[in-house]
Amino acid sequence: MNLVLDDLSVPALWLRDACPCTECRHPGSGQRLRSVLALEPDTGVATFSSSGDDVEVTFTPDGHVGHFSRQWLADNAPGRTRVFDDRSERNRLPWLAADLVNGPPEVQWAQLAVDGQQRSDAVHALMSLGLLLVRSVATEPGQVLEVARSFGHVRTTNYGDLFDVRVEPQPTNLAFTGRAIKPHTDNPYREPVPGIQLLHCITSSANGGENVMLDGFSAAAILRRDDPAAFATLSTTSLTFRYDDGDTALRASGPTIELNLADEVRGIRWNDRAVEPPQVEPGRVGEVYRSLRLFAETLARPELELHFKLAPGDCIAFDNTRILHARTAFTDGAGCRHLQGCYADLDGLASTVAVLDRAPR
């Protein structure tokens, strides 16, 4: 038997599982106290009554009495909402360079470091747009970690808690040279890929070294519109990415364009320097390369590219599962341009946003 209330028809089994009382859910965490094995397949509704927003239900066969919010049922009953996915394009704000004519959203470090409206606005901007420029961070080594910890948890990699981006005599990565670097996401050869990347400018270059960022969700939307076949190929073909140096050997595979079950884009994995030749059937090789070329051409479209230059004390944070970053070449010698970077997990940012949203205003 279902609970039938106004225009709602809620399966009793689902409703019994959703009971929010302290017998069924831990009051501190909301975690279930009853296993799915305790749910009786023949669960039904014996009686129910409602008063205002409260709906009282007595279940069979266990006789449990549960209380539910009428509004909560209207918003969350089966068929009323979609599977939670706060990382998909549906819950983000896509952008082109023209949408950010004043550059990335900004916040002063002193405002991000303390609770308040500026902090809330800043982390929401990072979550929805995928990037945030933090100004006036002290130009001291290690400060990038403090910025990351203000909204998330630092992710340690083979580079350590943080890494230096500067010209090195014997570079193990093209980032440690003065060469131009094309749009890419970092560490596609890791599983999981780091969610947030931060780059803190300690010293800037005088001759080049401009930062370039673009929204991978917008690029994927353009490809989907212009060539649905190429979009389908890149969202269903798993590519392998690799990185090797004297101490590290990393491999991970995944589609260039990640979709959720609702066919919405939720991630971009792209680094032309690290991708291996595709392991597909011989008859598909041509189509995969055609699709990769089209995506690379899409990423080179000027309307996608947001150009800006980090000044000493600037720290850019961006969603590495969505935002592709690049830079122009620079000719300053070793020791001039110096950025420090680190990674943080995206779920830490999402948690910060959710906690701020539920705080009283």
DSSP string, 149-211: HTTS-EEPBTTBS-EEES--SS-SSGGGSSS-EEEE-S-TTSSSPPSEEEEEEEE--SSB--E
The per-residue pLDDT for range 112-155, each reduced to its tens digit, is 999 999 999 999 999 999 999 999 999 999 999 999 999 999 99
Per-domain boundaries in the chain = 2-76, 89-358
User: What's the token pair of residue 154?
Assistant: 């630092």
Q: Give the model's confidence band at 175: pLDDT under 50 very low, under 70 low, under 90 confident, else very high.
A: low
Evaluate whether 324 touches 213 at the Cβ level (below 8 Å): yes
Q: Which helix (H) or strand (E) holds 289?
A: helix 285-299
What is the phi-psi region of residue 280: left when phi exceeds 0, alpha when psi lies from -120 to 50, beta otherwise? beta
- pTM here? 0.91
Whole-angstrom distance, CA of residue 66 vs CA of residue 331: 69
Among the CATH numbers 3.60.130.10, 2.40.50.100, 3.40.190.10, 3.10.180.10, which is that of 89-358? 3.60.130.10
Residue 335: its pLDDT value, please? Answer: 54
Which pLDDT score is estimated for 334? Answer: 52
> Which position has the token pair 């609770």?
115
Distance CA 149, CA 192 (A): 19
| CB contact at 8 A, 188 and 274 | yes
For the domain 2-76, what is the CATH code? Answer: 3.30.2020.30
CA 276, CA 158: separation in Å to the nearest integer? 21
Helix axes 285-299, 216-226, angle to 10 degrees: 130
User: Would you say residue 174 has pLDDT above 70?
Assistant: no
How high is the mean pLDDT of the chain? 94
Looking from the CA of 18 toward its CB, the CA atoms found within 13 Å total 15
Count of positions (residues) in the chain:
361
Q: Is the pLDDT of residue 83 over 70?
A: yes
pLDDT at site 59: 97
pLDDT of residue 7: 86
Helix (H) or strand (E) holding 132: strand 131-135
Q: Please, are residues 210 and 309 in contact by the beta-carbon 8 Å criterion?
A: yes
**Which is nearest to 178 in space by CA: 335, 301, 308, 311?**
335
Angle between helices 228-236 and 216-226 (to 10 degrees): 130
Banded model confidence at residue 170, pLDDT cuts 50, 70, 90: low
Cα-based distances in Å from 47 to 14, 50, 65, 158: 16, 11, 9, 60
Q: Mean of the pLDDT values across residues 310-329?
A: 96
With H, G, I as helix, E, B as strand and everything else as coil, classify residue 102: coil
Task: State residue 72 phi and psi, 5-degree precision.
Answer: -65, -40
The answer to whether the beta carbons of residues 212 and 183 sit under 8 Å apart is yes
Q: What is the pLDDT of residue 179?
A: 81
Q: Determine the pLDDT at residue 227.
A: 98
Given the structure tokens 């994995």, which residue do they identify? 269
Cβ–Cβ < 8 Å for 348, 152: yes
Q: What is the per-residue pLDDT across 276-291, written as a single tens digit (0 to 9) for each?
A: 999 999 999 999 999 9
Please write the tens of the pLDDT for every residue from 269-279.
999 999 999 99
Q: Which residue has the higher pLDDT, 205 or 86?
A: 86
**How far, in Å, are 19, 29, 37, 65, 344 from residue 24 at the CA level?**
6, 12, 13, 11, 34
Kindly list the distances between the CA atom of residue 222 and the CA atoms of 147, 217, 228, 261, 274, in Å, as whole numbers in the listed order.
33, 9, 10, 20, 24
Confidence tier at 361 by pLDDT (50, 70, 90) = low
The predicted model gives 174-187 an average pLDDT of 84
58-75 pLDDT tens trace: 999 999 999 999 999 999
Give one DSSP letter per residue of 2-68, joined into a string.
EEEETTEEEEHHHHHHT--STTTB-TTT--BSS-GGGS-TT-EEEEEEEETTEEEEEEETT--EEEE
